[in-house]
Amino acid sequence: MHRSRSSLLALIILIAGHPCVHAADKESAEKDPRAPYTAFNTLIGSWRGTGEPEGSRAEKQQGFWIETISWEWQFKDQKVWLKVAFEKGKYFQSGELRYLADKHLYQLTALTPTREKVVFEGKLEEKRLTLDRIEPKTKEAQRIVITFLHSNRFLYRYEVKKPERTSFTRVYQVGATKEGVPFAGPGDTDPECIVSGGKGTMAVSYKGKTYYVCCSGCRDEFKANPEKYIKEYEAKRKK
């Protein structure tokens, strides 16, 4: 019996590590490049971020800051990604979030206020996106963790780990609340974005009919390919 269980465990490990396990995810991403980003639909829009450094109460109060975080979809040549901008951001100015199908990872390429480009990669597990990088000069491990609390609230924190350390230390955290949306959250009657499937907040018209999109990126994509998205939308409604 013990040998049988060991053999079964070995088989499970072998299957889990086999590239075919991820084939469905890759095929889904290739068929519809929007698919890997559906978990981030609630991010789309403008957020009021309140940041504070780690430390004593006095240090937190002294280092406190407010920033505006804006997320939107981007489309180009059958490729899809998310763009983020930080107004009055203390540590980041802008960024792009992409899904790397070959690695089964998400990649965040961000610009700091001094225009330095930093690249983080990691996985989305349940409602938490963990992204890591190694600073080339110091070999310091750096981490961004984005936690989705609900449709109107998310947190992101920045952590570091020195080469000689075994655990990460938090440097700061930002709590973000969606602007212009009641804290109770969206209702069942909210319109759906015809492009992304997220919450529609902007009206667009085509041949006398009104549809909704969630951001300017989806608005421009709809205007460029209205028949495609209307066909998809109508097919979804019939199911």
2 inside domain = no
* Whether this model's pTM surpasses 0.85: no
Residue 76 domain flag: yes
Q: 189-218 pLDDT, tens per residue?
A: 679 999 999 999 999 999 999 999 999 999
Residue 37 tokens, joined: 């980003």
Instruction: Say if residue 67 is in the same domain as residue 152.
Output: yes
d(Cα 174, Cα 176) in Å, to the nearest integer? 6
Quick one: which of 180, 187, 178 has its CA closest to 152? 178
pLDDT tens across 122-176, in order? 999 989 999 999 999 999 999 999 999 988 999 999 999 999 999 999 999 999 9
Structural domain includes residue 16 = no
**Can you give the residue range of the structural domain that contains 200?**
187-239
Pairwise CA distance, residues 46 & 179, whole Å: 6
Number of domains composing the chain: 2
